[in-house]
Structure 1
Amino acid sequence: MDPTLSKEKPHFEVLEAVSSSSDVDDFSDVDKKKVLRKVDIGILPLFSLLYLLSFIDRTNIGNAKVEGIAQDLNLVGNQFNMVLLIFGVTYTLFEIPSNMILRRVNPRIFLPATMVLWSIVMTLMGTVRNYAQLMVTRALLGVFEASLFPGMSFMLSMYYSKSEVLIRQTLFFSAASMAGAFSGLLAAGISQMDGLGGYEGWRWIFILEGLATFVVAFFAFFVFPMHPEKCSFLTPREREYVLHKVKYSSNTDGQKMGKKLDNDESQMVRADMGEDDSNSRHYVWAVFKDWQSWCMLMIYYGVCAPVAGMSIFTPIIISGFGHSNTKTQLMAVPVFIVGTIFGILQSFACSRVGLRSPFLIFNFICMAIGYTICIAFDVRTHTSAVYAALFVISLGAYPAFPVVVIWFSNNLSGAYKRAVGMAFQISFGQLATVYASNFYREKDFPQFTLGHSLELGFILVGLLFVIICLSGYSYCNAKRRKDLAAGKYDSFTDEDFRRMGDKSPHFVYRL
C-alpha cells in the first residue's frame, strides 16, 4: 500500500469483543448486569406466555381436525385446507402495517388490544356451524394475530444489543414449539368434554383456549412494557443506558471465535457512530431495494413452511399410525419438546461463537433428512421410522426459526428500517404458511408424499439461499475493508455514514 495513503487514512477505534461506549458517557455508574436481569424479568416471561397462547390459538385447528371438525361441519374436498390458507393471507397482509404503527404508538395498549380481539374470535370459533363461518373467524384471527410476533420481535431489538438478542428471541420463540406440546396435552384433556352442553370436544378446545387468552390479554394491559424511553421498571438512568446500548451495538459484539478481529476489520468499526433512530420513510423503500431482504425472505420460506407443516399437521400425520385420538394427541407432545430444548441449547452456542449461518446450515440438513425419511418409508408399515423422522425435523425447524429472524435483524441498521425489515420478512414469509396449508391434502392421507416432497423442496431452496447470503455478506465485508483502506469515503461525515445505515462501510455484516 502507498505509505502516503496509509498516513492519510483516518484513525478508527479498535473493537475486539464487547459493545462499545461513546466517548461522552461510559455509564460506569450503571450496574449493567442488573439492568439486563431487570429487562429479562420484565419482558421474557410475559412475551413467552403471550406467544405461547398465540401459537396455540392459530394451530389448534390441527387438533380439532383429529377430533372431527371436518366431519361435523361437513367440510369436503379442499375446504379444510382453505380454512388454513385464509389465516395466512390475512396474517401476511396486516403484519407490515402493524409494525409501522407499533413504532409510533403505545405498545402497552396496541398489542394487548389485538390479543383481546383475537381471543374473542377464537372463542366464537367454537360456535361456528358451517364452512363459511369457520372461514370468517379464521380470517379475522389472522388479522388480529398479525401484530404480535413481529411486534414483540421488534420490541426485543429495542431492549437488547445484537449479541444479546438471539438467546432472548429463542427463549421467546420456544413458546411456539412448546405450544405444540401444550396443544396436544390440552386437546387430549379438553376433548374428554365431548358432548358437554351439547358441544363437541373440538368446540370446547376453541372456547376454553380462547377464554384463557382473553384473561391473559386483560392483565397484559397493565404489565406489557412500553418503549425503552418510557419503561416503567427501569430508572431514568437505566433507560438512557438501554437506549445507548442498542444504538451503539454492532455485529462485532460478542464475537468469541478464538481470535480477535484482524486489523482491517477492526478499522471498519466506529465505536462512536451509533444508529439512526429517526422514522425516515426512505428506510421503508430501502428494505424493498435491499438484496439481503429477498435472500432472507427465501431462507425464511425454507424454515416457515416446515414449521407450519409441523405445527398443524404433526397430529394428523401421527393419526395415520392407527392409534386412538387421545394417544395421537399425546404422541405429538415429545416431538415439540425435543425441538424446544435443542433450540434453546443451540441459541447459547450460536451466541457464544457469534455466527448464524453454520447453525442454519445444520438445521436445514436435519429437516432435509427428516422429510426424506418420511418420503422413503410407508407410514403404515414403518411407523417407528416416520415417527423418528418427525423428531429429526423438529431438531431443525424450531431452532432455525429464531436464528433466521435475528440474523436478518442483526444485519439491518436504522431502527425504522429494522422495524419494517423484520415485518417484511415475517409477513411475506407467512406466505409459506399459506403454501404449506395446501401441501397436505385429505386424499393423500396417511402417506402425504406430495406434502413431504414440497416441504423438502422449500428446505433445499432455503439452504441454497443461506449459502448465497453467507457469500454475499463475506464479499461486502471484504469490499468495505478495501474501500476504506483506499480512502474512498474520506470526504464523508459521521452523519452521512449514520444515514447510510447497514450500507455504511463501517457496518460489518454478521455471518
Structure 2
Amino acid sequence: MELQVPHQSSNRPESLEPLSSNASTAKEENEIQESEIQDIDPSVERRVRWKLDLTIMPLLTSVQFLANMAKSDLGNAEVAGLTEEMNLNSKEYSDLAIMITVGYLIFQIPGTMLIKKIGPPYQFGGAMIAWGVFTTCVVAAKSLGSLMALRFLTGAAESFIHGSLIYLSFWYRYNELATRGAFFDGTAALAGAFNGIMAHSIQVHLDGKNGWRAWRWIFLIEGCVPIAWGFVVFVFLPSSPDKMRSTSVFSPAEKEILIQRSQSAHNTGSSKIRPKAMLEVLMDPTFWMLAGIDCGVHVTTAALTNFLPPILDGLGWEDEKAQLMSSIVYACAFVNIMFCARVADKTNKRGILIVANCCVALVGFVMLLAITNDTTRLVGTCLIAAALMPCLMLVIVWLAMNFPGYSYRTSSIAFINVCAQLFGILGNKVYADPPYYRQGLAVSAGMTVMVGILAIGLLWRLRLLNKKKDLEKDSQNSLELSLLSIDEIGNKHPEFRYVY
C-alpha cells in the first residue's frame, strides 16, 4: 500500500502558521512513528510475525471455525430429520434459516465498534460461551417459535466476533492482512466441510440414541465445544500490542516492534466512538460501492450455508450422502480462498480478483440452471462456492485498507456487515423452491453480475481519486490537511493513496 506520512516543511504558506497544538502534536507523532517503523530489522520483524502466526492466528482461527460450524449446522440438521420431526414446510424452514442473520443484523454495529472498549478476549470468549449455550438449548426445542428464538440469540452472540479483521489489523501490516484474513475466512469453508463429515457420522451412529433424532445430537455436540473453548480464548488471547504483557513468547523489545507495526496500520485512535467519522463513512461513495459488492456476494454465500445440503439432496445425493458431498464443495472453496489471498497480498490487487471470480461463478450458475446431469451440476456448485466465498475476504480487506484510522475502519466494517446481513436475509428467502432452487439461483446469478460491474466501476473510481490527489498535492487545501493525522481525517489525508 502506498502510504507516506507527511513531513513538516519550514517554508509552508503564511496562512498555515497558526496551527493548533493538536495538529502539531499529531504531525510530530506521525513523523516519529514512521521513522521508528522504517528502522525495524527485517529479520527481527520476520521472527515477530512468525510468532504471531503461531500464537494469535490459531486462537482467532478457532473462534471463526466454531462460529461457522454453528452457522452451517442448520443445513445439516435439515437433512438429519429436523423438518420432518418439527413438521416444517419450505417457507417455515426458510424463515428459520434467516433468524441467525436477523441476530447478526441487530447487534452488528455494537459487536464491531465496541471491540476496544470491551476487549477482544472478553468479547470473543464471552460470545463463544453464549452462542454455545444457545445452540445446546436447541435440543430441548419443541416448536418452530422456540427454534427461531434460539437461532436469533445464536446470531446475536456471534455478531460480537465480527470485528475479527479489526483485531487482526492490531497486529499485522496492510500487506499481510489478506493472507491472515483468509485463514479465518477460509474456516467458513473448512467448517462447512468438517460439519458435513461430522453430521454424516452422527446420523449414521447416533440417530435414535436416547430417543433423539440425529439433528438434536448435531446441535448438542456443536454447542458444547464452543462453551469449553470460549474459556481458553478468554484466558490466552491478548487484547492488543500496547496492552500485552511481555511474556516468554514476546520479549519487551519484540513488544515494542508489535506496537510500531500497529501504528503503521493506523490503529492508534482511541476506543471512543466518533459520530462524525461514522457519518463521513456513510457519505463516501467508495463505501457504498464496496457495500454493494459485499451485499451481492452475500445473497449467494448466506444461502449456501443453510441450503447447500438440501440443494445437493435435490441433485440426487440423499440424507447423509448430501452431507458428505457438501464437504467437497467447501473444500474447493477453501483452496481458492487461500490462493486468492496470497495473490492479493503479493500483487496488492483485489478488485481484479473479484471480477475474475465473478466470471467463474457465472459459469457455475449456467451449469446449474441449464444442465440436468447431476455430476455436472455438482461441478457447477463447486465453482460457485469456490469463486464467491473468496470475495467475502477480498472485499472486507479492500474496505479496511481504503478506510484507515480506527474510527473510520470500525465504522465502515460495522456498516458494511449490516448491509450484507440484510441481503443475506434476501438470499435465504429467494431459495424457496426446492428441489432445484431455480429462483434462488437466478437471483444469485443476477447479483453476481452486479458485483462484477461494481468492482470494475470501483477500480476506475479509485484510480481517478489517486490521480486527483497527485494533481492537488501542492494545493492550499492539501497542505492544510497534511497537518492532521490519518486517524483524524482518514482517507482524505493528502498522502494516503487508495488501493485497488
Report the equivalent of 2:359. 365
Q: Percent identity?
A: 24
User: Which residue, 430, 453, 457 being the options, matches 2:446?
Assistant: 457
Aligned partners of 2:262 and 2:268 also within 8 Å: no
Q: Answer yes or no: is 1:167 the counterpart of 2:179.
A: yes
Amino acid at match of 2:368: C
Cα distance in 2 for residues equivalent to 1:280 and 1:79 = 39
**Distance in 2 of aligned mates of 1:445 and 1:294:** 33
TM-score (norm 1): 0.87
| Structure 2 counterpart of 1:53 | 66
The C-alpha deviation readout for 1:106-152, integer Å capped at 9, x for no partner, is 2211221111011000011122111111011011111101111x221
The two structures have a TM-score, normalised by structure 2, of 0.89
Matching residue within 223, 233, 238 for 2:254: 238
Give the Cα–Cα distance (whole angstroms) in 2 for the partners of residues 493 and 297 of structure 1. 28
Distance in 2, matches of 1:492 and 1:54, equals: 42
Which whole-Å CA distance do the structure 2 matches of 1:399 and 1:477 have between them? 26
Q: Which has more helix, going by share of residues?
A: 2
Query: Which of 405, 415, 418 lines up with 1:424 in the alignment?
Result: 415
Aligned to 1:468: 457
* Deviation for aligned residue 1:492: 4.3
* Cα distance in 1 for residues equivalent to 2:68 and 2:338: 18
Deviations for 1:368-399, whole angstroms, at most 9, x for unmatched residues?
21112211123xxx111111101111221122
d(CA) in 1 for partners of 2:349, 2:221: 42
> Does residue 489 of the first structure (1) align with residue 478 of the second (2)?
yes
Query: Over residues 67-120 of structure 1, what are the superposed CA-to-partner deviations in whole Å (9 max), with x where a residue is unaligned?
Result: 121111111351111111222112111011112221212221122111101100
Partner residue, 2:294: 300
| Shift of residue 293, structure 1, vs aligned partner | 1.5
- Which residue is equivalent to 2:28? none
C-alpha contact (below 8 Å) 1:52/1:175 kept by paired residues = yes
TM-aligned CA deviation for residue 226 of structure 1: 1.1
Report the Cα distance in structure 2 between the residues aligned to 1:22 and 1:94, rounded to whole angstroms. Answer: 36
1 CA distance for matches of 2:478 and 2:365? Answer: 49
Structure 1 residues 337-376: aligned runs within 5 Å:
337-376=331-370
The answer to which of 116-125 and 30-39 deviates more is 30-39
Partners in 2 of 1:454 and 1:223 — Cα distance? 44
Query: Aligned letter for 1:215?
Result: A
Stretches of structure 2 lacking an aligned partner (at least 5 in a row)? 1-10, 14-31
8 Å CA contact retained: 2:79, 2:320: no
Q: In the alignment, what sits opposite 1:327?
A: 321
Aligned to 2:155: 142
2 CA distance for matches of 1:323 and 1:102?
43
Q: RMSD between aligned alpha carbons? A: 2.1
Cα deviation digits, residues 270-301 of structure 1 (max 9, x gap): xxxx6762446122222212211211111001
Q: Distance in 2 between matches of 1:284 and 1:99?
A: 13
Q: Which amino acid aligns with 2:471?
A: K
| 2:435 alignment partner in structure 1 | 446
Q: What are the residue-to-residue correspondences of 1:160-309 with 2, within 5 Å?
A: 160-192=172-204, 193-232=206-245, 233-249=249-265, 277-278=269-270, 279=272, 281=274, 282-309=276-303
Mapping for residues 389-404 of structure 1, pairs under 5 Å: 389-404=380-395
**Cα separation, partners in 2 of 1:497 and 1:118, compared to 1, 3 Å:** closer
CA contact (8 A) 2:241 2:262 kept: no
Give the match for residue 135 of structure 2: 122
Moved more, 125-134 or 319-328: 319-328
1:157 matches 2:169: yes
Conserved in 2, the CA contact under 8 Å of 1:74 and 1:130?
no
Corresponding residue for 1:17? none
- Residue of structure 1 equivalent to 2:488: 499
Aligned length: 466
Question: Of the candidates 385, 398, 410, which is equivalent to residue 376 of structure 2?
Answer: 385
SS of the residue corresponding to residue 178 of structure 2 reads: helix
1:507 is matched by which residue type in structure 2? F
Shift of residue 483, structure 1, vs aligned partner: 0.6
Go from structure 1 to structure 2 and tell me whether the alpha carbon gap of 1:276 and 1:489 turns closer, same or farther (over 3 Å shift). Answer: farther
Unaligned runs of 5+ in 1: 1-7, 11-19, 250-273
Distance (whole Å) between structure 2 residues aligned to residue 28 and residue 321 of structure 1: 56
Counterpart of 1:247, as a letter, is Q
**Which stretch of the first structure deviates more once superposed, 409-418 or 236-245?**
236-245
Pairwise CA distance, 1:64 = 0.8
**Counterpart Cα distance in 2 of 1:290 and 1:111:** 30
